[in-house]
Amino acid sequence: MKLVKAIEKYKLFVQFKDGIEGTLDLSDVAGKEAFKIWDKGNTFFDVFISDESGAITWPGEIDIDTYNAYCNIKGINPEDFFKSVQSSYSPSGDGSKRVLFIDRDGTMIQEYPPTYQIDSFNKVSFYPYVFKYLGKIATELNYELVLVSNQDGLGTDKFPEEDFWPVHNLVMSSFASEGISFKEELIDRSYPEENLDTRKPGIGMFVNYLNNPEYDMANSLVIGDRITDVQLAKNLGCKAIWLNNNPDLGGAEVKDSLEELRKITALETQDWQAIYEFLKLGKREIKHLRKTNETDITIELNLDGSGNANIKTGLGFFDHMLEQIARHGLIDLSIITKGDLNIDEHHTIEDTGIALGEAFTKAIGDKKGIERYGFALPMDEAEAKVLIDFGGRNWIVWNADFSRDRVGDMPTELFFHFFKSFSDAAKCNLNIECRGENEHHKIEAIFKAFAKAIKMAVKKDPLKNYLPSTKGVL
């Protein structure tokens, strides 16, 4: 059986022994779409992208039953396919090994201010939950682990070797005893004022990984607690996970602005559990375009964001409402809508709802592990209730009346059309009710409740990698 015919960037071509060919298209990796290999027009095998890098999780996110049934009919050994693709597939086409370059002090063990020199056993304190979650990363995910550490003046009178190595060896043996092994330890001994390229964020210690076809640096990450670790990631051409407990640490040794460095920060947290979940689930982040004769819409959506919003629809009150979805749903949302407002507001509002629903469908992906249902009942001057079910079927129940024709620059009749459009495009059920006196507050309460319901429904648990349905499909 000839399995892998050719590999191009983001595409994998396969051929079975009976001559049936298929294409695994990875062109929209960030969207975590479900990609199909087709058997003469019929889906027989679903592959879901596990993270932003395009790496495939084996075998947890594969429709095993469907594929096994196909293999039984065709006489194909199912294990052969997994092994062949796993060994042959490269997300970037230039190497399949991904690396986690992990800082020691402040990341694996706690910093020890004010000296920040851990030279005795009584200074060793392990970072909370690092064994549990780094252990899960080491055993469940396909990364090589490399330790990277600056140890100022190691080997000098101020920091003798005999003070460093016993402590360091205890730290590393403690991780090894928990099944966490490092391929290599990269330790620089210089002081900052020496400006050596081997000192983080310099890349002098990383010659074995740079321009090496065995490594996929673009999809590797640096994990550390200092902004210098983020700068290192930028210098290496990879992403950073910033355990940001003190943003001032290392600030004097970086050349790029904090704004620039945050652009390559894949995750900013203080929690190893969040790191594990991010690496396990991937970043549910997409860019979606929708263009018609009436509107031109660009949406950028990150379901695992922090509430950042950039909304420009040309309608001030509508922008304000859409910002509530980001802020109260804890998603990052950018919506740029250019509509035919010279005619009226209808196309702009309705098409934005359609495009946003389509974006959610792409970002949610295969729906495995999500809660699926969400509800919220915030109380203020207005009472709003929103229930949502991302169950694959569109339907809306709307019980909200408004006594004014407009609020700000937006017709109140079009709020129903926005949510109806979202429901249709996202293939979700929506039940929306609202009571109150102030029209502005009623509408805002609906959007806040909608955001909270979405936040609940799209929450994903890395330990529950199954479809929330007895039907087996959503």
pLDDT at 35: 34
Joined together, the tokens standing for residue 225 give 């607690």
Enzyme catalytic residues:
103, 105
- The architecture (CATH level 2) of 285-458 comes to 2-Layer Sandwich (3.30)
Q: CATH number of 99-281: 3.90.1150.10, 3.40.50.1000, 3.40.50.880, 3.30.1600.10?
A: 3.40.50.1000
* Structural element, H or E, at residue 321: helix 316-329
pLDDT at 324: 95
Give the pLDDT confidence of 55-110 residue by residue, as tens digits. Answer: 333 222 334 454 455 455 555 565 554 443 333 333 333 446 899 999 999 999 99
Confidence tier at 278 by pLDDT (50, 70, 90): confident
pLDDT at 181: 94
Beta bridge partners of 159: 156
Residue 385 has pLDDT above 50, yes or no: yes
Task: Give the count of beta carbons closer than 10 Å to the beta carbon of residue 90.
Answer: 17
Joined together, the tokens standing for residue 255 give 């050349």
Residue 373 has pLDDT above 90, yes or no: no
Give the pLDDT confidence of 353-369 residue by residue, as tens digits. Answer: 999 999 998 888 777 77
Residue 460 has pLDDT above 90, yes or no: no
Distance from chain centroid for Cα 235? 22
Decide if 106 contacts 224 (C-beta within 8 A): yes
CA–CA distance, 414 with 406 (Å, rounded to integer) = 10
CA–CA distance, 102 with 109 (Å, rounded to integer) = 11
CA–CA distance, 6 with 231 (Å, rounded to integer) = 36
Q: What percent of the chain has pLDDT over 90?
A: 58
Which residues are CB-contacts of 131 (< 8 A; sequence separation ≥ 6)? 174, 175, 178, 180
Task: Give the count of beta carbons closer than 10 Å to the beta carbon of residue 85.
Answer: 18
Pick the range with the lowest mean pLDDT from 68-77, 125-134, 387-396. 68-77
3-state secondary structure 339-368: ECCCCCCHHHHHHHHHHHHHHHHHHHCCCC
pLDDT at 81: 43
> What does the pLDDT average to over 36-49?
33
Confidence tier at 281 by pLDDT (50, 70, 90): confident
* Structural element, H or E, at residue 442: helix 439-458
CA dihedral sign of residues 60, 284, 201, 223: negative
pLDDT at 352: 96
What residue type is assigned to position 14 of the chain?
A: V
Give the pLDDT confidence of 176-196 residue by residue, as tens digits. Answer: 999 999 999 999 999 999 999
Q: Which is nearest to 282 in space by CA: 30, 458, 36, 62?
A: 30
What are the C-alpha distances in Å from 209 to residues 99, 241, 251, 279, 330?
Answer: 9, 19, 26, 21, 36
Between 38 and 373, name the one with better pLDDT: 373
pLDDT at 92: 38
Domain locations in the chain as residue ranges: 4-88, 99-281, 285-458
Q: Which is nearest to 242 in space by CA: 73, 389, 103?
A: 103
Joined together, the tokens standing for residue 335 give 């919506």
Q: Which is nearest to 324 in space by CA: 402, 380, 398?
A: 380
